[in-house]
Chain A
Amino acid sequence: MDLTRGEVAGEAASRARPARPGPKGTRPTSKRERAGRAHAVRLALMAVPVAFFAVFFAYPVTAIVGRGLKADGTWQFGRVGEVLSRPDILGVLWFTTWQALASTAVTLLIALPGAYVFARFDFPGRHVLRAVVTIPFVLPTVVVGTAFLALLGRGGLLDELWGIRLDTTVWAILLAHVFFNYAVVVRTVGGLWSQLDPRQEEAARVLGAGRFAAWWRVTLPALAPAVAAAALMVFLFTFTSFGVVQILGGPAYSTLEVEIYRQTAQLLDLPTAAVLTLVQFAAVAAVLAVHARTVRRREGALRLVDPARTARRPRGTGQWALLGGVLATVLVLILLPLAVLVERSLDAPGGYGLGFYRALGSLDASGGTFLVPPLEAVWNSLRYALAATGVALVVGGLAAAALTRRAGRLVRGFDALLMLPLGVSAVTVGFGFLITLDKPPLDLRTSWILVPLAQALVGVPFVVRTMLPVLRAVDGRLREAAAVLGASPLRVWREVDLPLVRRALLVAAGFAFAVSLGEFGATVFIARPDRPTLPVAVARLLGRPGELNYGQAMALSTVLMLVCAVSLLALERIRTDRSGEF
């Protein structure tokens, strides 16, 4: 390659203004006209996602914040100070922050050795196990909560064996968060680790660095941005944790999100909920800003190689012990809760059997909890999730296409905007839907589409994050080669981009589907009583006393877990080695 920096820069510049078709014929167009047209295309691509986010995200959230902070038509910003000086609220803030920090630290501590083992060791069952540790990440938080309840709660496994109960302690929450986010670290850090060229470390060794020094000076700095990015994601997910804390936290512990739910749904104290929403929004925006920076740094100049080349069988006692330790951790921390969940679901009063599952099919067994047999929630969920996946793919796909065309600050802001739904209180979004989308022209209160729309909001960031790296990795000159051979811009997209991103599209669809399936915070508000989704039904069952309700919750969670796991394992088969940042 004899490209000088100048030529590369030139190419980048020209790639930023791709040739657009002239209006029929051959009227000469100036450079500025062309740039203007490229800009117009970008704006057109962004129009749908922007409209979607404006109507179904910004509008409901603003409306509900406005309702909380406005009195007689004027903003009451004084309420922010009032709310934030209440000791109970300060307690919630403090707990939310420190449990998120602690969860992040514990997750890193436990998952980093796992990241190394999955990245660098070759052992039988490695790929299956890698898929298995990813299951918790796409599991609905309600299921995670339920699984840990079955392990650590009243009448749980530990309670039966040793009389230990950890529910309503902070330990249950921390462990559930580790369970939930283990895969984030293994995937984000391990993904990079497996692609780091081992010869870099070897070069350091040849230059006189010891084994540790080489790792410390060469590998760790290369990994640091990925570690930071993973830590920030874990922090974000645990900071906004809802389902897990709702189920395991008991009355003593509540995060911001849980408190927002309590204030909105139980105490009907909208001003407090609005202030808390704003606080969470500010915190999440700050975390996302830092995350965007570290991700950009991660894309910097690293020598990456094929992951298949870096893995090898462990050697020596130390490495075997490390492998054993990681496998034991996975067994206890990830497989055990899932297994206990399944076991409890089968542990019917008259001995092991499918009693709880059968009860799901009838209305009488629910004792008035539901208007329809709980099993119908399965079909509701599947239908909603499919619709949500469709919406998320269209919105996210267009957004990713717009973001691929590298451009200025406007687009970069858009990038960050897409991540916000991951962190903004889902409870607020759900409640916002209820109060804003109830009058013409957007009277969706009675429409089934309301739930999929809310679920698509959390699906879109996953679609964008999965598609974007793949789209960006498509060599721009491949598109140019097609253009020179006579392909129009639309044809170029169909002939070059689409075949290359088809896999990523499937992966994105799977993620969006799993996330939609498990969405709880918003759905719990807007799902109609006669059409509950799986997570909503589980939560409702758990909220009722009695062994039958508990058993049914376990059974329904198992069903939900199986649906998620199947879609995830299907993904793992088609997943390319380099797709996405999750």
Chain B
Amino acid sequence: MALLTLSDVTVRFGARTALDAVDLEIAEHETVCVLGPSGSGKSTLLRVVAGLTAPDGGRVLLDGADRTGVPTHRRGVGLMFQDHQLFPQRDVAGNVAFGLRMRGVPRGEQAGRVEELLELVGLPGAGRRAVAALSGGEQQRVALARALAPRPRLLMLDEPLGQLDRSLRERLVVELRGLFGRLGTTVLAVTHDQGEAFALADRVVVMRDGRVAQTGTPVEVWQRPASAFVARFLGFDNVVDATVSGGAADTVWGRIPVPDGSAQGERSVLVRPAGVRLVDPAGALRCTVEARTFRGSRVAVLLRPDGPSGGPVLEAECGLRDAPRVGAAVGVAFAAEDVVVLEGRESGL
């Protein structure tokens, strides 16, 4: 049975619909990441589950029991806030022990649990330190320890690593995933950072305008984005409207081969940059190199199709040595294995 079930949850703020009939299930021990741009309703989703925002419609079930009207402090879920929200007047131990105190855990037991958690998050012996004296990463760890201390059935994380710098973020993601695996915690996290979501989650839920746009494992979502919106949100820009028939799609970039078994008809297609091959201009789509961006061992090359109806700029990925100069004229061909046929038209975004 699912640990958390949202059925048909709707939240409106005035005329704006923040969550529009959202259904979601999370199994025990599963880590789910809700991914979406700002304003897609992902934070509201957490607030509804925590009982901080009352839904206008729908139900929230925890362990199969309807918890929709239960006040926050009786829900027994954990929530780590985006900017931590550590209590400034308490020290680290006071913060971590807060949830235990609220549940009437005996003092002696509290101290042991606090030390255990500080150890777990890599801050052993930091209990007496003032919260204000902590670095961003340390605050993050204290907030995590505080949320974990009462052993919530469900732990929710709002942009867990949002305000940390890149290297720290990458390290913490790995640590968190290991930690959740060890503890067997069920986790619902929201983030706008796809890298974070893919690294952390067993399952990714992409949201858009208060609705679920796609659900799947990180690999599924990455390899087969369902719509032009998801593709673009994941950072793919080579998306065009297309008419698919048989093994090829007609686009402003010419005919593009598509994988076998692709859906047919009026759709849009995504060409991953790796699938944009630079070839001899003769007989191919003619382009001019507009810009080059170094990305470590690879180079992203922006190509402007020639001619009056050349279509939007194409991004290609080349090895460091093969990258053409800015202004060079090149031809472009497409590799079918890096083409994905998406649902709906790009113009219907």
What residues make up the interface of A, taking CB atoms closer than 8 Å to B? 1-4, 6-7, 9-10, 13-14, 17, 19-22, 26-31, 33-34, 475, 477-478, 480-489, 491, 495-496, 499-500
Separation of A480 and B89 alpha carbons in the complex (Å):
16
For residue B325, CB closer than 8 A to chain A, the reply is no
What are 28 inter-chain pairs, A to B, with CB distance below 8 A? A2-B38, A2-B159, A6-B13, A7-B18, A7-B43, A19-B51, A19-B52, A19-B54, A21-B73, A22-B69, A26-B74, A30-B54, A34-B69, A481-B79, A481-B81, A481-B87, A482-B98, A483-B71, A483-B72, A484-B73, A484-B75, A484-B77, A485-B78, A485-B99, A485-B102, A485-B147, A495-B87, A500-B88
Separation of A19 and B71 alpha carbons in the complex (Å):
6
Measured CB to CB, the nearest residue on chain B to A15 is B52
Q: How far is the CB of B102 from chain A (nearest CB, A)?
A: 4
Q: Say yes or no: A485-B150 contact (C-beta < 8 A), given A7-B38, A34-B54.
A: yes
- Please provide the 3 A-B residue pairs with the shortest distance between their CB atoms, ordered closest to farther: A28-B69, A486-B102, A29-B69
For residue B203, CB closer than 8 A to chain A, the reply is no
Q: Which residues of A contact B67 (CB under 8 A)?
A: 26
Q: Are B85 and A10 in contact (CB under 8 A)?
A: no
Q: Are A484 and B69 in contact (CB under 8 A)?
A: no
Q: Are A14 and B66 in contact (CB under 8 A)?
A: no
Q: Which of B65, B87, B103 contacts A26 (CB 8 A)?
A: B65
Measured CB to CB, the nearest residue on chain B to A24 is B74
> Which residues 71-108 of B sit at the A interface, judged by CB distance below 8 A?
71-79, 81-83, 85, 87-89, 98-99, 102-103
Q: How far is the CB of B231 from chain A (nearest CB, A)?
A: 21
Q: Which residues of A contact B150 (CB under 8 A)?
A: 485-486
Q: Which residues of A contact B75 (CB under 8 A)?
A: 484
Q: Are A486 and B99 in contact (CB under 8 A)?
A: yes
What residues make up the interface of B, taking CB atoms closer than 8 Å to A? 11, 13-14, 16, 18, 38-39, 43-44, 47, 50-56, 65-79, 81-83, 85, 87-89, 98-99, 102-103, 146-147, 150, 159, 162, 192
Separation of A226 and B146 alpha carbons in the complex (Å):
41
Separation of A247 and B43 alpha carbons in the complex (Å):
63
Q: Are A7 and B39 in contact (CB under 8 A)?
A: yes
Measured CB to CB, the nearest residue on chain A to B47 is A14
Q: Are A484 and B72 in contact (CB under 8 A)?
A: yes
Q: Are A26 and B69 in contact (CB under 8 A)?
A: yes
Q: Are A477 and B85 in contact (CB under 8 A)?
A: yes
Q: Say yes or no: A9-B13 contact (C-beta < 8 A), given A21-B71, A28-B69.
A: yes
Q: Are B87 and A20 in contact (CB under 8 A)?
A: no
Q: Which residues of B contact A22 (CB under 8 A)?
A: 69-71, 74
Q: How far is the CB of B131 from chain A (nearest CB, A)?
A: 12
Measured CB to CB, the nearest residue on chain A to B66 is A28
Q: Say yes or no: A480-B54 contact (C-beta < 8 A), given A7-B44, A22-B70, A485-B146.
A: no
Measured CB to CB, the nearest residue on chain B to A31 is B54
Q: How far is the CB of A32 from chain B (nearest CB, A)?
A: 9
Q: Which residues of B contact A480 (CB under 8 A)?
A: 50, 52, 72, 79, 81, 85
Separation of A21 and B73 alpha carbons in the complex (Å):
8
Q: Are A484 and B44 in contact (CB under 8 A)?
A: no
Q: Are A14 and B89 in contact (CB under 8 A)?
A: no
Q: Are A2 and B70 in contact (CB under 8 A)?
A: no
Separation of A4 and B102 alpha carbons in the complex (Å):
33
- Extra inter-chain contacts (15) besides given A13-B13, A488-B73, CB under 8 Å: A10-B44, A19-B73, A21-B71, A26-B66, A31-B54, A31-B55, A34-B54, A477-B83, A483-B73, A484-B75, A484-B147, A485-B99, A486-B76, A486-B99, A495-B98
Separation of A135 and B51 alpha carbons in the complex (Å):
49
Q: Are A28 and B68 in contact (CB under 8 A)?
A: yes
Q: Are A478 and B87 in contact (CB under 8 A)?
A: yes
Q: Are A19 and B38 in contact (CB under 8 A)?
A: no
Separation of A487 and B56 alpha carbons in the complex (Å):
24
Q: Are B53 and A14 in contact (CB under 8 A)?
A: yes
Q: Which residues of A contact B51 (CB under 8 A)?
A: 19, 483
Q: Which of A9, A29, A483, A485 contacts B52 (CB 8 A)?
A: A483
Q: Are B18 and A10 in contact (CB under 8 A)?
A: yes
Q: Which residues of B contact A19 (CB under 8 A)?
A: 51-52, 54, 71-73
Q: Which of A10, A20, A495 contacts B71 (CB 8 A)?
A: A20
- Residue from A9, A30, A481, A483 with most neighbouring chain B CB atoms (10 Å): A481
Measured CB to CB, the nearest residue on chain B to A485 is B99
- Residue from A19, A30, A477, A496 with most neighbouring chain B CB atoms (10 Å): A19
Separation of A57 and B14 alpha carbons in the complex (Å):
39
Q: Are A484 and B18 in contact (CB under 8 A)?
A: no
Separation of A279 and B183 alpha carbons in the complex (Å):
72
Q: Say yes or no: A27-B69 contact (C-beta < 8 A), given A7-B38, A19-B51, A496-B87.
A: yes
Q: Say yes or no: A30-B69 contact (C-beta < 8 A), given A4-B39, A500-B89.
A: yes
Separation of A2 and B38 alpha carbons in the complex (Å):
6
Q: Say yes or no: A4-B38 contact (C-beta < 8 A), given A9-B13, A486-B102.
A: yes
Separation of A30 and B57 alpha carbons in the complex (Å):
9
Separation of A475 and B99 alpha carbons in the complex (Å):
19
Q: Which residues of A contact B162 (CB under 8 A)?
A: 2
Q: Are A499 and B89 in contact (CB under 8 A)?
A: yes
Separation of A29 and B54 alpha carbons in the complex (Å):
9
Separation of A1 and B39 alpha carbons in the complex (Å):
12
Measured CB to CB, the nearest residue on chain B to A2 is B38
Measured CB to CB, the nearest residue on chain A to B55 is A31
Q: Are A14 and B69 in contact (CB under 8 A)?
A: no
Separation of A440 and B172 alpha carbons in the complex (Å):
71
Q: Which residues of A contact B87 (CB under 8 A)?
A: 478, 481-482, 495-496
Q: How far is the CB of B89 from chain A (nearest CB, A)?
A: 4
Q: Are A484 and B14 in contact (CB under 8 A)?
A: no
Q: Are A13 and B14 in contact (CB under 8 A)?
A: yes
Separation of A3 and B99 alpha carbons in the complex (Å):
27
Q: Which residues of A contact B192 (CB under 8 A)?
A: 2
Measured CB to CB, the nearest residue on chain A to B88 is A500
Separation of A4 and B69 alpha carbons in the complex (Å):
27
Q: Which residues of B contact A491 (CB under 8 A)?
A: 73, 102
Q: How far is the CB of B150 from chain A (nearest CB, A)?
A: 7
Q: How far is the CB of A361 from chain B (nearest CB, A)?
A: 47
Measured CB to CB, the nearest residue on chain B to A475 is B85
Q: How far is the CB of B113 from chain A (nearest CB, A)?
A: 13
Measured CB to CB, the nearest residue on chain A to B193 is A2
Q: Are A14 and B38 in contact (CB under 8 A)?
A: no
Q: Which residues of A contact B147 (CB under 8 A)?
A: 484-485
Q: Are A484 and B50 in contact (CB under 8 A)?
A: yes
Q: How far is the CB of B341 from chain A (nearest CB, A)?
A: 31
Separation of A275 and B120 alpha carbons in the complex (Å):
74
Q: Which residues of B contact A3 (CB under 8 A)?
A: 38
Q: Are B13 and A486 in contact (CB under 8 A)?
A: no
Q: Are A486 and B52 in contact (CB under 8 A)?
A: no
Q: Which residues of A contact B47 (CB under 8 A)?
A: 14
Q: Are A14 and B52 in contact (CB under 8 A)?
A: yes
Q: Which residues of B contact A26 (CB under 8 A)?
A: 65-67, 69-70, 74
Q: Are B54 and A17 in contact (CB under 8 A)?
A: yes
Measured CB to CB, the nearest residue on chain B to A29 is B69
Separation of A467 and B69 alpha carbons in the complex (Å):
33
Q: Which residues of A contact B54 (CB under 8 A)?
A: 14, 17, 19, 29-31, 34
Q: Which residues of A contact B73 (CB under 8 A)?
A: 19, 21, 483-489, 491
Q: How far is the CB of A428 from chain B (nearest CB, A)?
A: 44
Q: Which residues of B contact A475 (CB under 8 A)?
A: 85
Q: How far is the CB of B256 from chain A (nearest CB, A)?
A: 34
Separation of A488 and B14 alpha carbons in the complex (Å):
28
Separation of A9 and B16 alpha carbons in the complex (Å):
10
Separation of A489 and B76 alpha carbons in the complex (Å):
15
Measured CB to CB, the nearest residue on chain A to B70 is A26
Q: How far is the CB of B153 from chain A (nearest CB, A)?
A: 13
